[in-house]
């Protein structure tokens, strides 16, 4: 499809919400309207809106004054994969899945959408990849506080989450010092340790546990004892929800059987707090930051990054370069095929310069 054949585009936001989504919607829609004269349609609640025909026009006024707003004006969902869509339960309570991709494509054709800008993480890009063989023309924008999409150095939403988590760790630092306690703080990130690593370093956390480095409880306790014998009678431990002991498993909070990504991690902070308090006989507390890391207004860096991503996505549509994800590599904007990021995660490398720097200043990673 030539650039001058584009008349209408759709925009959807999938997966977990994060700061900066509305800034991307704004940049995509305003570039489309002002620079190219296209009509824009918002698809509500991710691919669920495409499946259920919940698609509405977006005007310039709909996308004005949303740059600083958290969340997403279109709504989102992480349970609406058209290739494996839950349509109910059987007599035993098990979910029944159907492939409803053709229904989604019919609705895209109904609204004469020439392309769809898909804003999301690896799960959302996997959903998009499943529709590409049926003729969907889409452009992806990398969104996740986990910063775990392949082939991009950074995703929008990540820096705001780091600042939120760092602020919380800073506040807990003072109360831990005052009461001479160990405080174990659980952060999000799933199987990737980027958020915990960055917030842990920024806050000066004494212990940082990430999924990529299995930990030894003995090593952590020895480290805490050394601190207590010195002049630091407290410890702050920043722990990723996906952290696990050597030879052990991640702590699973629950399983959502009708979700494309059914495992929900959580509870590692309470487990570690109880174990450390029992072994060390030091009063300890567990704090779970949870969804506060997703909320609130995006920081300035994420507003700028989201605007760059949104504009770049619209320009890829204009050039007819479809089914690609906007990414940042070597400091500049480029794009890669969406299929190359589907069903993958970018993890912290064990030879990361960040790990080396953190170890050099005495941070314990439990190994």
Active site residues: 146
The alpha carbons of the chain give a radius of gyration, in whole angstroms, of 22
DSSP per-residue codes, 231-258: T---EEEEEETT--BTT--PPEEEE-TT
* CA–CA gap between residue 183 and residue 171 (Å, rounded): 11
Q: How far apart are CA 46 and CA 259, in angstroms?
A: 14
Bridge partners for 329 per DSSP: 332
Q: Are 125 and 136 in contact (CB under 8 A)?
A: no
Under a CB-based contact definition with an 8 Å cutoff, are residues 364 and 221 in contact?
no
- What does the DSSP assignment read for 176-236? HHHHT-EEEEEE--TT--HHHHHHHHHHT-SEEE-TTS-B-HHHHHHHHHHHHHTT---EE
* Residue 309, Cβ density class (10 Å: 0-12 exposed, 13-18 middle, ≥19 buried): buried
């Amino acid at each position: 499809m030539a650039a001058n054949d584009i008349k209408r585009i759709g925009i959807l936001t999938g997966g977990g919400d994060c700061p900066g989504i509305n800034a991307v919607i704004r940049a995509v829609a305003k570039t489309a309207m002002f620079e190219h004269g296209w009509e824009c349609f918002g698809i509500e609640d991710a691919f669920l809106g495409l499946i259920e025909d919940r698609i509405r026009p977006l005007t310039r006024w709909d996308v004005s004054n949303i740059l600083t707003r958290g969340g997403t004006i279109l709504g989102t969902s992480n349970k609406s994969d058209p290739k494996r869509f839950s349509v109910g339960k059987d007599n035993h309570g098990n979910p029944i899945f159907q492939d409803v991709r053709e229904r989604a494509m019919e609705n895209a054709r109904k609204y004469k959408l020439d392309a769809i800008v898909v804003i999301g993480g690896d799960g959302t890009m996997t959903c998009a990849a499943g529709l590409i063989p049926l003729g969907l023309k889409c452009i992806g924008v990398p969104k996740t506080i986990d910063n775990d999409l392949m082939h991009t150095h950074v995703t929008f939403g990540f820096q705001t989450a780091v600042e939120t988590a760092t602020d919380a760790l800073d506040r807990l630092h003072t109360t831990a010092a005052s009461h001479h306690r160990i405080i174990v703080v659980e952060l999000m990130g799933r199987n990737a340790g980027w958020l915990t690593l960055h917030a842990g370093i920024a806050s000066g956390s004494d212990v940082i546990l990430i999924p990529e480095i299995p930990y030894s409880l003995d090593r952590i306790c020895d480290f805490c004892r050394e601190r207590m014998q010195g002049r630091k009678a407290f410890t702050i431990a920043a722990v990723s929800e996906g952290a696990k002991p050597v030879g052990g498993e991640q702590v699973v909070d629950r399983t959502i059987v009708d979700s494309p990504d059914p495992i929900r991690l959580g509870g590692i902070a309470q487990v570690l707090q109880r174990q450390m308090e029992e072994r060390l006989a030091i009063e300890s507390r567990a704090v779970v930051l949870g969804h506060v890391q997703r909320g609130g207004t995006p920081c300035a860096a994420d507003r700028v990054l989201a605007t760059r991503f949104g504009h770049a996505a619209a320009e890829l549509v204009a050039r007819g370069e479809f089914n690609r994800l906007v990414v940042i590599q070597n400091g500049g904007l480029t794009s890669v095929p969406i299929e190359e990021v589907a069903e993958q995660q970018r993890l912290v490398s064990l030879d990361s310069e960040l790990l080396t720097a953190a170890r050099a200043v005495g941070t314990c990673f439990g190994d």
